[in-house]
Amino acid sequence: MHACVFCRVRGGSARASVVHQDDLVLAFMDLMPINPGHVLVVPRMHATGLGEVPDQVGARMWSLGRRLGGALRASPVRCEGVNLFLADGAAAFQTVFHAHLHVIPRFTGDSFPLQGPRAQAPRRELEEGAAQLRELLAHVH
Name the residues annotated as catalytic. 100
Residue 102, strand partner residues: 40, 85
Taking Cα atoms as reference points, which of 110, 19, 113, 33 lies closest to residue 67?
A: 19
The sign one gets for the Cα dihedral 112, 85, 70, 16 is: negative
Q: Are 17 and 23 in contact (CB under 8 A)?
A: no
